[in-house]
Chains A and B, each alone.
Chain A
Amino acid sequence: MARLEVRKTYKLYIGGKFPRSESGRSYEVVSTGRSPKFLANAAQGSRKDIRDAVVAARGAVKGWSGATAYNRGQVLYRVGEILEGRREQFIAEVSASEGLTKPQATKIVDAAIDRWVWYAGWPDKLPQVLGNLNPVAGPYFDISAPEPTGVVGILAPQASSLLGLVSVIAPAIVSGNTVVVITSEDRPLPAISLGEVLATSDVPGGVVNIVTGRTAELAPWLASHADVNAIDLAGATELPWGELEAAAADTVKRVVRPAGDGADAVEPDWLEAPDLSRMTAFLETKTVWHPKGL
Chain B
Amino acid sequence: MLGVASLTNKALRTWLHGLPGVDQVGIEARAAALATRSIKTTSKSWAIDTAIGMIDLTTLEGADTPGKVRSLCAKAQLPDPSDLGTPQVAAVCVYGDMVGIAKEALGSSGIHVAAVATAFPSGRASLAVKLADTKDAVKAGADEIDMVIDRGAFLSGDYRLVFDQIAAVKEVCARPGDAPDAHLKVILETGELATYDNVRRASWLAMLAGADFIKTSTGKVQPAATMPVTLLMLEAVRDWRELTGEMVGVKPAGGIRTSKDALRYLVMVSEIAGDDWLSPDWFRFGASSLLTDLLLQRQKLRTGAYSGADYVTID
Q: Do residues B308 and A224 form an inter-chain contact, with CB atoms below 8 A?
A: no
A226 to B303 CA separation, bound complex (whole angstroms): 11
Q: Are B306 and A224 in contact (CB under 8 A)?
A: yes
| B299: chain A residues within 8 A (beta carbon) | 226
Please, which residues of chain B bring their CB within 8 A of the CB of A27? none
Does B242 reach chain A (CB closer than 8 Å)? no
Partner of B309, one of A50, A224, A227: A227
In Å, the complex CA distance between A221 and B308 comes to: 13
Does A87 make an interface contact (CB < 8 A)?
no
Residues of A within 8 A of B304 (CB): 224
Q: How many angstroms from the CA of A224 to the CA of B304 in the assembled complex?
A: 9
Q: Write out the residue numbers on chain A whose beta carbons fall within 8 Å of the beta carbon of B310.
A: 226-227
B67: min CB distance to chain A, Å: 25
* B258 vs chain A, min Cβ distance (A): 10
B306 touches A247 (CB 8 A): no
- Once A and B bind, how many residue pairs between them come within 8 Å at the CB atom? 30
Mask for A38-58, Cβ within 8 A of B = 1, else 0?
000000000000110010001
Interface residues on chain B, number (Cβ under 8 Å):
9
Which size bracket describes the interface of A in this complex? 10 to 19
A250 at the interface (CB under 8 A from B): yes
Bitwise, B274-315 to A at CB < 8 A (1) or not (0) is 000000000000000000000000010000111111110000
A225 within 8 A of B: yes
| A198-225 contact mask (Cβ, 8 Å, vs B): 1 or 0 | 0000000000000000000000010011
A52 and B307 alpha carbons, distance in the complex (Å): 12
The closest CB in chain B to the CB of A224 belongs to B305
- CA A84 to CA B305, docked complex, whole Å: 40
Q: How far is the CA of A247 from the CA of B305 in the complex (A)?
A: 9
Chain B residues within an 8 Å CB radius of A228: 308
Residue contact A221 to B309, C-beta cutoff 8 Å: no
Question: Hey, which chain B residues are within 8 Å of A50, CB to CB?
Answer: 306
Chain A residues with Cβ below 8 Å from B306 are 50-51, 54, 221, 224-227
Residues of A within 8 A of B311 (CB): 226
Q: Are A227 and B307 in contact (CB under 8 A)?
A: yes
Residue of A nearest to B299 (CB): A226
User: Which B residues touch A224, using CB under 8 A?
Assistant: 304-306
Contact with B307, one of A221, A226, A247 (Cβ below 8 angstroms): A226
The 6 closest A-B pairs by CB, nearest first: A227-B308, A224-B305, A226-B308, A225-B306, A226-B307, A226-B311
The 13 sampled A-B contact pairs (Cβ below 8 Å) are A50-B306, A54-B306, A58-B308, A221-B305, A224-B305, A224-B306, A225-B306, A226-B310, A226-B311, A227-B306, A227-B309, A247-B305, A251-B308
Sample of 16 further A-B pairs with CB below 8 A, known A226-B299, A226-B310 = A54-B308, A58-B308, A221-B306, A224-B306, A225-B306, A225-B308, A226-B305, A226-B307, A226-B308, A227-B307, A227-B308, A227-B309, A228-B308, A247-B305, A250-B305, A251-B308
